[in-house]
Structure 1
Amino acid sequence: MRILQLLPELKVGGVERGTIDLSEYLVSQGHESAVVSGGGDLVKLLNQHGARHFKLPIGSKNLKALIQIKNLRNIYNDFRPDIIHVRSRFPAWINFFALKQTSFKKPIVISTFHGLYSKPFYSKSMSYADEIIAISKTVKDYIKKNYKIDLNNLHLIYRGCDIAQFNNSKPEDLWLDNWYKDFPQTQNKILLTLPGRITSWKGIEDFLLLLTHIDLNKYHGLIPGHVKKNKERYYKSLLSLVKKYNLQSRVTFCGSRSDIANIYKISNIVFNLSSKPEPFGRTIIEAAACGTRVMGWDRGGVKESLEMINPKGLVPFGDVKQLVNEIPKMLAEEAPQTIPEIFTKNHLVKATI
């Protein structure tokens, strides 16, 4: 079969990683795989496993981008997919109109809802599919509430992490030496880590507030995450907050890291403190797979994940004081040794096929 996936870009992120994982598995099973996106660093991974990439700016949310309907239709007429898998709202709209006129049999359309979208009308494009995948029970409930679909075509498939990359093997000595050379302030500290993009809803303010309530002679905060250009002003406001709290030597912004698995492994606790309910909470799964304790707010996809990994890591939303109180208790708990099979890449790709 020929399977083509659509998403805005192939840069760092959970949606992007899932796209690569599925494409690699498809090729390994003898299928032809292709991806349409605006490009990015992960395109090279498609090339490595023999998939095709069609570069097309289908993620720009403006009327000018609608010109890509014709260009996408041309790609379809060239590749002639049997299945199209849409992973984002605006590309789904372009796909919807591109399929109005094609020179071959209409392919099966599958969509994956990766989020709890704030604009249901705009997001209706994701419901225009023959089969729909929800990445958590939280997302599945959201779909059932907001869209008129055939529930027989709605499927729950959790996101999965690659346990070949995220596992509890120890980081190499060379990596550790380089890490402590670059970040000597983290050595011999209990490391509390909040991974994720630097954006206003990831709970960074709560994390910084948390650090003001603990003994920072013992603890150090890590915040690995990419800062987009349009988030630079917000990032500067966080640095001002760090200064206000006198945390300059107690918390480290690491930037975007390709070695995030090793950062999980040297962390004592990894947190997810998003101010909005997470549709899934991939960082919780990845960190637990690396043998690291995990904590987060008691709601959304994070709650689902923690209930199956370690429910003691759940804390009522927004209760920073309770979060502080639970840290010593969590450190006394045994760290997870593995994650449920349903949270693995292997289960994800097989269930999707």
Structure 2
Amino acid sequence: MKVIQILPELNSGGVERGTLEVGKHLIENGHQSIVISNGGRQVEQLEAEGSRHITLPVHKKRLSSLKQVKVLRKLFEQEQPNILHLRSRLPAWLAWLAWRKMDPQTRPRLITTVHGFYSVNLYSKIMTRGERVICVSNSVKDYVRHNYPDVPAEKLTVIHRGVSPEQFPYGFEPDAKWLTEWQQKYPQLKDKYVITLPGRITRWKGPLDFIEVLAALKAKGIPAHGLLVGEPHPKKMDFFEEVKAAIKASSLERDITLVGHRSDLREIMAVSNVVVSCSTDPEAFGRVTLEALALGKPVAGYAHGGVAEQLDALLPAGKINLGDHRAMVNLLTTWHAAPPSVTQRQEFSLQSMLNAVMTSYTELDKAPREL
């Protein structure tokens, strides 16, 4: 098979990670993989793993982006892929507008993945236009069925995101060189109870809740140190300043470290005592929390969306009612005194995810066309 995946950019994020994983799997199994995006820091890895990357400006919400419709249609006609996989709303619209004018008997089969709880409107409905629609969690499937009841149930399939036990082995410990460099850069973490909130610094990821939790732990005498691991979006710098002001207002400048973007999140989580999820909006799945659990690290998280599904399966004790700071403080206090054990299980494996995606591709490729 030849598969084209399309998304806005290839920088950081779960959608981007999944795109690379599927591309690598296709190549390893003798298929062809093409990814269309505006580019980004992960293009080098994508191409090193055997996929082709085609750079097109499919990432900006503006009328001029419609010029890409003809470009995409010509590209699809030249490449003749078996599968066209749409992973984000704006490029999905551009690709769908190109696809629908192609010959229904020969055009590629269309798959979409609903990666999030998008605002409910016509713009978002494009993610349900696939001949098959992948939902990244049961929560996302429920969202689609509730908000878009005209989408046939048989088109929907749940494929949870997965983690590789080779990349995130249970009980993983960073090597001595990494540890030395980390300790030299962040000596303030020595003998501290390290609590990590990974993710881009945006309001809905809950860094302000995290700051309140840290302040309450410090007030109780817990030697906690918080790590915010992620970068702000260039357009969200005002909120980043708000976060820094909140840290200062809580007198936590020495107790919370803004680490920024890191490519070694696995190692950082491995040397943390706890990973938390404070997302005020539900995570569609929450890959990072699953990675932490795979490493054997306890996760305390607001129990909604995909994170609730993970904790139900792997660590029910980590579930916190949305916005209940006191409950999170009490749980982390308890865990400081008696760290919980995370059972080694393979509920959500990368191989299972990739096998399920490939099954969706092959079944749709062979299915009769609705002309």
TM bucket, shorter chain: over 0.9
Does the C-alpha gap of structure 1 residues 317 and 51 become closer, same or farther in structure 2, counting only changes over 3 Å?
same
- Is contact 1:6–1:86 with CA below 8 Å preserved after alignment? yes
RMSD over aligned CA atoms reads: 1.4
Contact kept, 8 Å, 1:120 with 1:146, in 2: the verdict is: no
Which residue is 2:55 aligned to? 55
Taking the aligned partners of 1:154 and 1:45, their CA distance within structure 2 comes to 31
User: Which residue matches 1:141?
Assistant: 142
Of 199, 204, 207, the match for 1:196: 199
Check conservation: 1:83, 1:108, Cα contact below 8 A: yes
Determine if the alignment matches structure 1 residue 267 to structure 2 residue 268: no
Cα deviation digits, residues 32-68 of structure 1 (max 9, x gap): 1100111011111221121111111112111111111
> TM (normalized to structure 1)?
0.96
Deviations 1:280-309 (A, max 9, x none): 111210111112110101211111111111
- 1:80 and 1:176 mapped to 2: Cα distance? 49
Matched residue SS, 1:194: strand
C-alpha distance after superposition, 1:121-147 (max 9, x if no partner): 211111111101000011000011122
Which residue identity lines up with residue 176 of structure 2 in the other structure? Answer: D
How many angstroms does 1:339 deviate by?
A: 3.9
Counterparts of 2:113 and 2:151 in 1: how far apart (Å)? 14
Structure 2 counterpart of 1:178: 181
**Partner in structure 2 of residue 308 of structure 1:** 313
299 and 287 in structure 1: CA distance in 2 versus 1, 3 angstrom threshold: same
Judge which range, 24-33 or 156-165, deviates more: 156-165
Q: Which residue of 2 aligns with 1:66?
A: 66
> Is 2:294 the counterpart of 1:289?
yes
Aligned equivalents of 1:143, 1:102: Cα separation in 2? 27
CA distance in 2 between counterparts of 1:235 and 1:32 reads 41
User: TM (normalized to structure 2)?
Assistant: 0.92
* DSSP 3-state at the match of 2:340: coil
Please say if 1:350 is aligned against 2:368: no
Q: Identify which of 301, 304, 308 aligns with 1:299.
A: 304
Distance 1:251 1:262 in 2: 18
Residue 283 of structure 1 aligns to a residue whose secondary structure is helix
Q: Which residue type is aligned with residue 161 of structure 1?
A: V
The aligned counterpart of 2:17 is 17
Pair 1:170–1:337, CA change in 2 (3 A) = farther
User: Which residue number corresponds to residue 6 of structure 1?
Assistant: 6
Between the aligned partners of 2:297 and 2:172, the Cα distance in structure 1 is 11
SS at match of 1:214: helix
Q: Quick one: distance in 1 between partners of 2:329 and 2:120?
A: 35
Question: Is 1:191–1:222's contact at 8 Å kept on the other side of the alignment?
Answer: yes
Q: Which moved more, 1:167-176 or 1:247-256?
A: 167-176
Are the equivalent residues in 1 in contact too, given 2:217–2:333 (CA < 8 A)?
no
State the 1:162 CA deviation: 2.6
Match of 1:340 among 336, 346, 365: 346
Q: After TM superposition, give the deviation of residue 217 of structure 1 in Å.
A: 6.2
Amino acid corresponding to residue 190 of structure 2 in structure 1:
Q
Match of 2:156 in 1: 154
Question: Is the deviation greater in 183-192 or in 214-223?
Answer: 214-223
Q: What does residue 34 of structure 1 align with?
A: 34
Work out the CA distance in 2 between the residues paired with 1:145 and 1:35.
Answer: 31
Q: Which runs of 4+ in 1 moved over 6 A?
A: none
- Alignment partner of 1:4: what SS? strand
Preserved contact between residue 272 and residue 283 of structure 1 (Cα < 8 Å): no
1:62 is aligned with what amino acid? R
User: 8 Å contact 2:222–2:333 — kept in the other structure?
Assistant: no
Q: Which letter maps to 1:247?
A: L
1:337 CA drift (Å): 4.5
Deviation at 1:170, TM superposition (A): 0.8
Bigger Cα displacement from structure 2, 23-32 vs 212-221: 212-221
Further displaced range: 147-156 or 13-22: 147-156
Identity of aligned residues (%): 38
- The alpha carbon displacement at 1:329 in A equals 2.6
Decide which moves more: 19-28 or 277-286. 277-286
Count residues in correspondence: 352
How far, CA to CA, are the matches of 1:258 and 1:87 in structure 2?
23
Deviations 1:196-227 (A, max 9, x none): 00101111111100111113662111010012
Deviations 1:293-346 (A, max 9, x none): 1010121111111111100000111111111111133342433253433x2211
Structure 1 residues not aligned, in runs of 5+: none
Alpha-carbon deviations, 1:2-36, whole Å to 9, x = none?
11101001101100000000010011111111001
> 1:124 corresponds to which letter in structure 2?
K
Give the corresponding residue for 2:208: 205
